[in-house]
Chain A
Amino acid sequence: MAKVWRDLIILITAFAAVWIIFTFGINEFFPPESREIDLDLSSYALSEEEELRFGNFITEMYLQDKSIIHNETVDSALTFIYNRLTRGLSEDQSTVKFYVIDSEEINAFTFPGNNIVIHSALIEFSNSPEEFAAVIAHELGHVHHRHVLSKIAAEFGTTILISLITGGDVTVMHQVIGTLVSSAFSRTQESEADAFGMALLEQVQIHPKALGDFFEKLNDQEPSFDSSLQLLMGHPHNDERIQASADYTLATDFSSQPLHLDWEHIKASL
């Protein structure tokens, strides 16, 4: 009978070993690059205007039944923060448009065509303009890396994406919007956006740990199963991302320069 249990141990060990080998060896067998959708739109002769037109169209569709907040205090604060952030962007970066909508969910979305939709709850949740700027910088990372188009291509296929950009079906557009607001970016994409955001923050003299602070606060706020938070957080790797922000090495001559905004006043104006 002892042999039976010895066999059982062998079997369980073998299972564990195979799982471990596959888990930690997976990057050897299947390099992460091969798992990401390689989006090369250059071969499709799409103009930037077409892409922008598609992006604007889809953003307007999404915003149709949302209440957009037109508020001078918030608008000027956003412009102020964005101007600060663009100091760190290269000249040829296309202009990004922001929309603040009235929503209880702490969230922000990047839409195609350099559009960023911010929920009012996100502003209310941020403790400081720096934290809010960090989230914006993160979203700018998604814009910079064209993650939204990759995400659409990954969900719907490149062919559908191209047909959408060159004049697509409204029904499919609705599905695309559903995907954009309900599914998360991949882990790699989130860390790319984080890295971009933190580098940008450093360049414009905002401490990059603001991003980690924000994530940590989100973590504390709702420990689990709040899908709205998970979207922004990109699923359960928050701790890694907070760590990445904490580990960020600043240039030796870095000095932070606060954003001079009356944040409480801005929040109150919502």
Chain B
Amino acid sequence: MMNDEPSYYPLPQPDQIIEREREDAMGAYLMMFAAVAVALPLPVINLIAAIIYFYVNRTKSRFIHFHSLQSLLSQIPTTLLNWGLLYWTLRIWFFDSLEMDDYYLGYLLTTVVANISYLVFSIIAAVQARKGRMYYFVFFGKLSYEMVFSTSNSITYAVDSGIVHQNKPPQ
């Protein structure tokens, strides 16, 4: 990105993306739902799960790398919001040091809206990923694209180097 015009790797088209890649890319979004369900009282497990998923899968292919990065990035703000809500709620109900006022209720509703939009967009992205298509979230989509498809990204992907087919029939 030293030049004015950054260069990018070509986007993989659906017919170039194998089934396995599509499933792994979709998994990046779907796994989050399971994690969110577990993490509801303590909104950090989903983030840990996303980070692990990202590091395990990112070198498999550029397509998977993009989707798992987008999924990971996009849940950071939601997680922060949920943390804020948890902290605020505890202050009110357990430590009695803050009052439930309009700012809190406004924040509560905003967090609910943020979580719902996150879930809705994740479902759409999961469906698109399964079809072998790109899907860009506001900000996170573009950021992930920059990070994954820019030519400054020098990761060698397994799918390109053929490491995927390491298992061979008995000789």
Interface residue ranges, A against B (CB under 8 Å) = 1, 3-4, 7-8, 10-11, 15, 18-24, 26-27, 30, 182-184, 187, 225, 227, 230, 234-237
Q: Which residues does chain A contribute within 8 Å of B109, judged by CB atoms?
A: 18, 22, 26
Do the beta carbons of A22 and B139 come within 8 Å of each other?
no
C-alpha gap A184/B138 in the complex (Å): 43
Do the beta carbons of B99 and A23 come within 8 Å of each other?
no
C-alpha gap A184/B42 in the complex (Å): 27
State whether the Cβ of B146 lies closer than 8 Å to any Cβ in chain A: yes
Of B77, B96, B99, which contacts A227 at CB under 8 A? Answer: B96
Do the beta carbons of A15 and B143 come within 8 Å of each other?
no
C-alpha gap A183/B107 in the complex (Å): 23
State whether the Cβ of B6 lies closer than 8 Å to any Cβ in chain A: yes
Of A23, A182, A227, A230, which contacts B106 at CB under 8 A? Answer: A23
Closest A residue to B142 by beta carbon equals A4
A23/B98 contact (C-beta < 8 A), A1-B146, A11-B138 known: no
26 CB < 8 A contacts A-B: A1-B6, A3-B142, A4-B139, A7-B143, A10-B138, A11-B138, A15-B110, A15-B114, A18-B109, A19-B110, A22-B106, A22-B109, A22-B110, A23-B102, A23-B105, A23-B106, A26-B109, A227-B96, A230-B96, A234-B99, A235-B96, A235-B98, A235-B99, A236-B99, A237-B99, A237-B101
Size class of the contact patch on chain B: 20 to 34
C-alpha gap A26/B100 in the complex (Å): 13
Q: Which residues does chain B contribute within 8 Å of A7, judged by CB atoms?
A: 138-139, 142-143
Q: How far is the CB of A187 from chain B (nearest CB, A)?
A: 6
Closest B residue to A237 by beta carbon equals B99
Do the beta carbons of B96 and A184 come within 8 Å of each other?
yes
C-alpha gap A222/B138 in the complex (Å): 47
State whether the Cβ of B97 lies closer than 8 Å to any Cβ in chain A: yes
State whether the Cβ of B113 lies closer than 8 Å to any Cβ in chain A: yes
C-alpha gap A1/B138 in the complex (Å): 13
Of B1, B103, B114, which contacts A23 at CB under 8 A? Answer: B103
Do the beta carbons of A8 and B139 come within 8 Å of each other?
yes
C-alpha gap A184/B107 in the complex (Å): 22
C-alpha gap A22/B85 in the complex (Å): 15
Do the beta carbons of B96 and A183 come within 8 Å of each other?
yes
Do the beta carbons of A230 and B97 come within 8 Å of each other?
yes
Q: How far is the CB of A244 from chain B (nearest CB, A)?
A: 16
Q: Which 6 A-B pairs have the closest CB atoms?
A: A23-B106, A7-B139, A22-B106, A235-B99, A22-B109, A4-B142
Closest B residue to A4 by beta carbon equals B142
C-alpha gap A30/B109 in the complex (Å): 12
Q: How far is the CB of A26 from chain B (nearest CB, A)?
A: 5
The listed residue with most B CB atoms (<10 A of its CB), out of A10, A15, A183, is A15
Q: How far is the CB of A13 from chain B (nearest CB, A)?
A: 11
Docked complex: B71-116 residues within 8 A CB-CB of A: 77, 96-99, 101-103, 105-107, 109-110, 113-114
Do the beta carbons of A27 and B142 come within 8 Å of each other?
no
C-alpha gap A183/B142 in the complex (Å): 48
A19/B6 contact (C-beta < 8 A), A26-B102, A236-B99, A237-B99 known: no
Closest B residue to A182 by beta carbon equals B96
C-alpha gap A227/B95 in the complex (Å): 9
C-alpha gap A237/B105 in the complex (Å): 16
C-alpha gap A131/B96 in the complex (Å): 26
Closest A residue to B111 by beta carbon equals A19
Of A18, A20, A27, A184, which contacts B99 at CB under 8 A? Answer: A184
Q: Which residues does chain B contribute within 8 Å of A225, judged by CB atoms?
A: 97
Of B1, B77, B102, which contacts A27 at CB under 8 A? Answer: B102
C-alpha gap A21/B110 in the complex (Å): 9
Q: Which residues does chain A contribute within 8 Å of B138, judged by CB atoms?
A: 7, 10-11
